[in-house]
């Protein structure tokens, strides 16, 4: 007669199901951790931690095992009633299809009941080191009898003694060694963040760089504005200026304020046309320099401004542009749009460092389709 361990397996499953289905014990006194439970008097007051996720996986596995047994029993009874090899094979095929349709078989529970809530010191892991920050909330309390049954079936489990409520001054009842290590790591991370912030904001000690950083709106150096200007005259004082894309200025200011990825060196590559690689003067900048607009952004900084200009630019003085460029000492800027303002009487002359392209369009012309390059016929929908 062949030896079978099926009855022993059924007994093990029965013990496991009963242990997991027992309600948690009532709140008791505070206990120790590891092997020293710190109890006195009746040993039935002992409480032990059991991982909730392990319990859920064990219950899913038990339910699948029980459902499989019921299906196999029903199939055997049907085969006994039907008889014949052909019908037995047909019923076996149906059973296999039903088993496949019910989904994949859940894996059996792990050998350590508290593998996900125990730290390397054999104590309850802190909440910050568990998935979802559960910590003690990721475990449930069981009495001594339930834990003894579970530990008999899974002897590799880590024993975690505890209580329903943590002791005074022990936080969540987790491992003090792990908490001390986390406190050290947290303090070191704070110091590192402070050092990084100090290094990142060090260039703001330069007044020129700080003037660009604190420029809220307007996009022009206020200290270089002429007191009173007439219509048709440039509001900026004579000198050399830089035109820098506003998108780069925003990225740089965000980096200086909140950190993150450092932007590349200031460049005016986006101000070049696609066909001839010559600078395209944004419409709003040209209108401002020619005195047709009282402000650089024309009183609009939203959709209208972006719609009328392929690139929106801010104006920096020569000193401000040099101070910003010095922050990227080892980086060569491919292109920088510069222009000089000179006055002769009441007229203001604009001299560009590179002659702008007059064949390509620098704006959207106020229509739904903007021609970026007239000679190449490239269009962009908005």
Kindly tell me if the per-residue pLDDT of 372 is higher than 80: no
Top-confidence residue, 189 or 73? 189
Kindly tell me if the per-residue pLDDT of 381 is higher than 70: no
With a CB cutoff of 8 Å and minimum separation 6, the contacts of 169 are: none
Q: Are 235 and 291 in contact (CB under 8 A)?
A: yes
**Side-chain-side CA neighbours of residue 197 (13 Å):** 8
**Model pTM greater than 0.75?**
no
Kindly tell me if the per-residue pLDDT of 351 is higher than 60: yes
- Kindly list the distances between the CA atom of residue 78 and the CA atoms of 6, 82, 159, 178, 376, in Å, as whole numbers in the listed order: 22, 6, 47, 58, 79
26-53: average pLDDT: 56
For 255-278, write each residue's pLDDT tens digit: 999 999 999 888 888 888 888 888
Kindly tell me if the per-residue pLDDT of 99 is higher than 80: no
Mean pLDDT score of the chain: 76
68-84: average pLDDT: 73
Assign 41 a pLDDT band (cuts: 50, 70, 90): very low
Q: Are 68 and 61 in contact (CB under 8 A)?
A: no
For 119-130, write each residue's pLDDT tens digit: 888 888 887 766
CA angle in degrees (0–180, nearest 5) for 357-362-367: 145
pLDDT of residue 300: 59
Which residue, among 250, 266, 242, has the nearest Cα to 328 in the 3D structure?
A: 266
pLDDT of residue 203: 93
Q: Are 60 and 106 in contact (CB under 8 A)?
A: yes
Kindly tell me if the per-residue pLDDT of 335 is higher than 80: no
Kindly tell me if the per-residue pLDDT of 176 is higher than 80: yes
Top-confidence residue, 256 or 91? 256
30-35: average pLDDT: 42
Kindly tell me if the per-residue pLDDT of 320 is higher than 90: yes
pLDDT of residue 83: 59
- As a whole number of Å, the end-to-end CA separation of the chain is 84
34-57: average pLDDT: 64
pLDDT of residue 38: 36
Which residue, among 218, 245, 244, 230, has the nearest Cα to 348 in the 3D structure?
A: 230
Encoded tokens for 166: 């943590």
Q: Based on the number of CB atoms within 10 Å of its own CB, is 313 exposed (0-12), middle (13-18) or buried (19 or more)?
A: buried
Kindly tell me if the per-residue pLDDT of 100 is higher than 60: no
Assign 366 a pLDDT band (cuts: 50, 70, 90): very low
Per cent of the chain over pLDDT 90 is 20
Q: Quote the CA–CA distance of 381 and 372 in Å, as a whole number.
A: 11
Q: Tell me which DSSP letter residue 217 carries.
A: S
pLDDT of residue 216: 78
Q: Are 372 and 310 in contact (CB under 8 A)?
A: yes
- Kindly list the distances between the CA atom of residue 159 and the CA atoms of 49, 113, 118, 355, in Å, as whole numbers in the listed order: 8, 9, 9, 79
């Amino acid at each position: 007669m062949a030896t079978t361990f099926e009855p022993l397996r059924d007994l093990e499953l029965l013990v496991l199901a009963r242990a997991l289905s027992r309600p948690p014990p009532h709140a008791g006194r505070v206990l120790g951790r590891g092997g020293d439970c710190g109890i006195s008097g009746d040993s039935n007051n002992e409480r032990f931690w059991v991982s909730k996720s392990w319990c859920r996986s064990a219950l899913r596995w038990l339910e699948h095992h029980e459902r499989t047994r019921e299906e196999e029993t029903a199939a055997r009874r049907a085969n006994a009633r039907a008889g014949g090899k052909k019908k037995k094979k047909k019923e076996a095929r149906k059973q296999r299809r039903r088993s496949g349709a019910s989904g994949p078989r859940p894996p059996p529970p792990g050998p350590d009941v508290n593998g996900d809530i125990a730290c390397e010191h054999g104590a309850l892991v802190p909440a910050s080191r568990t998935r979802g920050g559960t910590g003690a909330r990721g475990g449930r309390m069981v009495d001594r009898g339930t834990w003894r049954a579970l530990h008999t079936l899974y002897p590799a489990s880590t024993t975690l003694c505890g209580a329903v409520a943590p002791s005074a001054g022990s936080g969540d009842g987790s491992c003090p060694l792990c908490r001390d290590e986390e406190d050290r790591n947290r303090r070191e991370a704070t110091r590192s963040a402070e050092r990084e912030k100090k290094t990142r904001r060090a260039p703001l000690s330069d007044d020129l760089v700080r003037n660009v950083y604190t420029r809220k709106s307007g996009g022009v150096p206020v200290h270089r504005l002429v007191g009173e200007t007439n219509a048709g005259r440039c509001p900026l004082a004579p000198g050399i200026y830089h035109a820098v894309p506003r998108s780069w200025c925003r990225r740089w200011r965000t980096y200086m304020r909140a950190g993150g990825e450092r932007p590349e060196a200031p460049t005016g590559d986006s101000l070049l046309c696609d066909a001839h690689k010559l600078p395209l003067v944004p419409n709003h900048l040209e209108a401002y320099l020619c005195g047709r607009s009282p402000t650089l952004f024309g009183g609009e900084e939203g959709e209208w401004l972006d719609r009328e200009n392929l690139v929106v630019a801010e104006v920096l003085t020569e000193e401000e542009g040099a101070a910003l460029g010095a922050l990227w000492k080892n980086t060569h800027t491919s292109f920088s749009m510069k222009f000089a303002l000179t006055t002769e009487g009441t007229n203001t002359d604009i001299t560009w460092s590179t002659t702008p392209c007059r064949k390509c369009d620098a704006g959207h012309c106020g229509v739904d389709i903007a021609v970026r390059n007239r000679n190449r016929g490239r269009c962009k929908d908005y």
